[in-house]
Chains A and B, each alone.
Chain A
């Protein structure tokens, strides 16, 4: 494997290039960069650690909520309530007339049974 650096004419060509000197003003400006451009401090809640903790918490909360609302017991209770509502509606329509929900708060399941 040849290394092009072995070419003497190239070294001669590059040595013909003028030296570049660092102006004192540039050196000073660069040395002052930490003062003229202070590094922005990031709010702790924007840090990657905090963000990952936050998303983990959201995820855990989502799982808890999902499990709670999808419990079989809850669904059975909902079905039972719907059946009672149908019973009330049917009883009021046939015996009392009108919609039982107009008397919401006054009519009870007992009233419906009594009306029947």
Chain B
């Protein structure tokens, strides 16, 4: 039986996004600060995961919002602000990763365990650090598009339509990308002898 697939059109962004970006484009610093407050944590998380270096990730997040400020007039109200800002951040990350590759740099892994709350027991802390590093490394070994698809879906909680806009591809391609990414990540984690908390589906 032929599988019926309904083509999903991307949902239009809320009117508030369009109005807010119009204010930013008109030079309203208060509106710009509102955009930053809403999207900076997500953008910094995304750049930190992709670059695996806190200092570089912070620089890049700043560059992202500098572009948002300077190019606010180019915002098209066919996407949510978060989609547009993630798209800018992704392009900057790709440039940075290419520069690294050209210089022959290896994958850095930051000491993210420093962010763990002080109430955690030392044994738990070590285990948490070990698990975090395995997962980080497993994600880092995936191609950039697969990393982005996974991070945007599972960490940023964006829809497949929005991920398709950020990756400049179709929803079907995103779905396929996510399947391959999930499978590759599972293999990486298995190879790293990381016991998944729950059995495989």
Contacts and interface: CB of A to CB of B under 8 A. Distances in A.
A31 interface: yes
Contacts of B69: 33-34, 37, 39
Interface residues of B, number: 49
Interface residues of A, number: 31
Contacts of B66: 33, 37
B53 interface: no
Nearest to B42: A20
Interface in B7-58: 27, 29, 32-33, 36, 40-41, 44-45, 48-49, 57-58
Contacts of A8: 197-198, 201
A29 interface: yes
Chain B interface, DSSP helix/strand/loop, else mixed: helix
Contact of B112 (A18, A23, A29, A31): A18
B32 A9 contact: no
Given A9-B197, A12-B197, A16-B132, A29 B116 contact: no
Interface of B: 5, 27, 29, 32-33, 36, 40-41, 44-45, 48-49, 57-58, 61-62, 65-66, 69-70, 112-113, 115-116, 128, 131-132, 135-136, 138, 150, 153-155, 160, 175, 178-179, 181-182, 185-186, 189, 196-201
